[in-house]
């Protein structure tokens, strides 16, 4: 019997941490399905880069804040898997998310509803929808934030929902234990991507502040996170379950 590699599904894989994850998995020979919202050209660039790194990748459109589309998305996942001669995935990385910078006093109901829809509700129901397509013994990684441990001005609403995601992770780990599916949280610190308008990457003052608050003396880059996620999904991480793993370089120690 052929020893086929596991298959991953990564949300928000067209750029930033998601892109880094897809490419880190590809370097291990693991093919990925990944989602993008609107940036089709960037998604195609990732599929090309993944192939060059050593594995296949397919980009699928998805708005992770639109739960009413998840059933149709699951069908598209099944169709993509069928083209690979498969019918299940092994790894799910819930990475897609949106930023929000405002005080608790000034955040509007509309802003909070959208933040909730993408950063928590979408993760909850997308995972629920995809559970029948995840092999027993698989892995789920939910992407949280260092902001659940330390406080930064105007980050309260965003951090609160990431905190909810961390609690969800533990309950998912408990409920999926009988299927031998491990569920963990990876909580990055400040990373130099285009997330939140690229404020860490492109604003020298913000970048310097982050570097000064980090024990390792710099802001993170996507390549600090993707390989960590790939390692956690590997067989070496099989006994890690229901954990919050912070990758921040030691921010605010």
* 91 catalytic residue (yes or no): no
Contact, 60 vs 7, CB < 8 A?
A: no
Chain centroid to CA 186: how far? 8
Which residue in 36, 91, 158, 171 is the catalytic one? 158
The pairing of beta strand 182-188 with beta strand 134-143: parallel
Max distance between CA atoms of the chain, in angstroms, equals 60
User: What positions carry a catalytic annotation?
Assistant: 158
């Amino acid at each position: 019997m052929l020893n086929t590699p596991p298959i991953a599904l990564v949300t928000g894989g067209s750029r930033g941490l998601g892109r880094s994850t897809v490419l880190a998995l590809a370097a291990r020979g693991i093919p990925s399905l990944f989602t993008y919202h609107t940036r089709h050209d960037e998604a195609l660039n990732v599929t090309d880069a993944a192939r060059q790194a050593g594995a296949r990748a397919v980009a699928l459109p998805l708005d992770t804040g639109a739960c009413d589309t998840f059933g149709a998305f699951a069908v598209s996942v099944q169709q993509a898997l069928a083209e690979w001669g498969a019918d299940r995935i092994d790894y799910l990385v819930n990475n897609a998310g949106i930023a929000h910078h405002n005080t608790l006093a000034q955040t509007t109901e509309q802003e909070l509803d959208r933040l909730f829809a993408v950063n928590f509700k979408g993760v909850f129901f997308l995972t629920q929808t995809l559970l029948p397509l995840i092999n027993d013994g698989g892995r789920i990684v939910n992407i949280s934030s260092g902001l659940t441990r330390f406080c930064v001005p105007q980050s309260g609403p965003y951090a609160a929902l990431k905190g909810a995601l961390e609690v969800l992770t533990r309950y998912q780990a408990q409920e999926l234990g009988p299927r031998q599916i491990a569920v963990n949280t990876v909580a990055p610190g400040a990373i130099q991507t285009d997330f939140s308008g690229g404020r860490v990457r492109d604003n020298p003052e913000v970048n310097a502040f982050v570097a000064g608050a980090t024990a390792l003396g710099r802001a993170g880059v996507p390549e600090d996170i993707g390989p960590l996620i790939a390692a956690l999904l590997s067989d070496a991480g099989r006994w890690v379950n229901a954990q919050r793993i912070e990758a921040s370089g030691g921010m605010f120690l």
